[in-house]
Amino acid sequence: MRVLFWGTPDFALPPLRALIGEGFEVVGVVTQPDKPVGRSRTTLQAPPVKALAIVEGIPVLQPERPRGDDFLAAMAALEPDISVVVAYGHILPRTVIDLPPRGTLNIHASLLPALRGAAPIQAAIRQGLDETGITIMRMVPALDAGPMLHVLRTPVLPDETYGELALRLSELGALALIESLALLELDKIAEEPQDDALATYAPKVDRETARVDWALPALEVCRTVRAYDPKPSAWTTRGGAAMKLFGAQPAPRSAAREPGEVLLIDEEGLVVACGQGAARITAVQPAGKKRLRPIELARGRGIAVGDRLS
């Protein structure tokens, strides 16, 4: 089976490695253009899947947008039997989805129809779900609404961060993909329509989404911090200046305090009052500085007991 692989971030690497390792013929990789990085924005950084493709001698396509006659011609020239999309970052038009004879599959990091959209891993943690997983689905023009071919489930572990869960799900996605393609080759897979009435959504994370609301109960505050750790990072402000937060666990609170008040700073972290209970934050990053333990920031007079975060 000739596979055209689509993907951009680190999450896409394990599925691509799995395809190569299992002997599937990857005829090309479609990824986003190289991005400028650094203070001067003059250095270009290639997507991770591009670097792997180059090492393996796989052709790479990097359109600004995956549409138009020229792109379709380049895609058709690769003669794929099927496309596989993993966190590519653009919505594909019908002409692109239907070009391979066996269509286009997508690896989605949730148990569809729950958490359709751009940020299902973050949403699973923030919503406090006990279980999530990977769904292999057939792509259609509607958002994550195609029929499902294969589902693998996994628990969301206590205190698991977005980065940790994303790593586990990327490996699970690789396994689910290989199993799905093998079953397709044997014509032993049944496609199950999604129940749209059960659909929920996980929209793209923006800056305001990741801002901590200290008036929430401590459990929800901790989920917020873990859902965006390590990126884009939950954040708060102290004295009008933004500060990123990492690592969070509920902590005891001995007396009534206003939400956002710093109650304790010690070797284990920063304890902040919430609407109910308190949260212990294990690392912070003031704007323009490196990540620090809260006690290091306190020694530099960057924060103190009694300060208010908002």
Of 49, 41, 51, 65, nearest to 16 by C-alpha is 49
Helix (H, G, I), strand (E, B) or coil at 211: strand
CATH superfamily assigned to domain 218-299: Formyl transferase, C-terminal domain (3.10.25.10)
How high is the pLDDT of residue 63? Answer: 97
Pairing of strands 60-61, 25-30: parallel
DSSP 111-154: STTTTBSS-HHHHHHHTT-SEEEEEEEE--SSTT-SPEEEEEEE
Amino acid at 276: Q
Of 151, 93, 103, nearest to 4 by C-alpha is 103
Q: How far apart are CA 30 and CA 8, in angstroms?
A: 8
How high is the pLDDT of residue 153? Answer: 98
What confidence tens digit (pLDDT) does each residue in 3-26 have? 999 999 999 999 999 999 999 999
Element (H, E) at 183: helix 162-185
Confidence of residue 89 (pLDDT cuts 50, 70, 90): confident
How high is the pLDDT of residue 216? Answer: 97
Residues in the chain: 310
Q: How far apart are CA 227 and CA 278, in angstroms?
A: 18
What confidence tens digit (pLDDT) does each residue in 24-40 have? 999 999 999 999 887 77
188 by Cβ neighbours in 10 Å (0-12 / 13-18 / 19+) ranks as exposed
Q: How far apart are CA 185 and CA 180, in angstroms?
A: 9
Whether 2-198 and 218-299 share one fold: the answer is no
Confidence of residue 254 (pLDDT cuts 50, 70, 90): low
- Residue predicted with more confidence, 7 or 43: 7
Q: What is the mean pLDDT of residues 172-185?
A: 97
How high is the pLDDT of residue 39? Answer: 73
Q: What is the mean pLDDT of residues 84-92?
A: 93
Take residue 70 and report the two structure tokens written for it: 């020229």
Q: How far apart are CA 292 and CA 303, in angstroms?
A: 12
Residue 204 DSSP class: P
Residue 276 has pLDDT above 90, yes or no: yes
Q: Please state, rounded to an integer, the average pLDDT across all residues of the chain.
A: 95
Percentage of the chain modeled with pLDDT above 70: 100
How high is the pLDDT of residue 278? Answer: 96
Confidence of residue 231 (pLDDT cuts 50, 70, 90): very high
- Do 177 and 136 contact (CB within 8 A), yes or no? yes
Looking up tokens 């397709």 gives 184
Q: What is the mean pLDDT of residues 37-57?
A: 89
Confidence of residue 288 (pLDDT cuts 50, 70, 90): confident
What confidence tens digit (pLDDT) does each residue in 210-225 have? 999 999 999 999 999 9
Q: How far apart are CA 126 and CA 167, in angstroms?
A: 17
Contacts of 215 by beta carbon, 8 Å cutoff, 6+ apart: 259, 274, 275
What confidence tens digit (pLDDT) does each residue in 164-176 have? 999 999 999 999 9
What confidence tens digit (pLDDT) does each residue in 124-171 have? 999 999 999 999 999 999 999 999 999 999 999 989 999 999 999 999
Q: How far apart are CA 147 and CA 137, in angstroms?
A: 6
Q: What is the mean pLDDT of residues 96-108?
A: 97
CA atoms within 13 A on the CB side of 159: 9
Residue 255 has pLDDT above 90, yes or no: no
Distances (CA, A) of 257 to 214, 273, 276, 308: 11, 6, 10, 10
List, in sequence order, every residue forming a beta bridge with 271; answer none if it has no partner: 264, 280
Residue 257 has pLDDT above 90, yes or no: no
Instruction: Tell the CATH topology of 2-198.
Output: Rossmann fold (3.40.50)
What is the domain partition of the chain in residue ranges?
Answer: 2-198, 218-299
Helix (H, G, I), strand (E, B) or coil at 279: strand
How high is the pLDDT of residue 151? Answer: 98
- Which pTM value belongs to this model? 0.94
Q: What is the mean pLDDT of residues 291-295?
A: 96
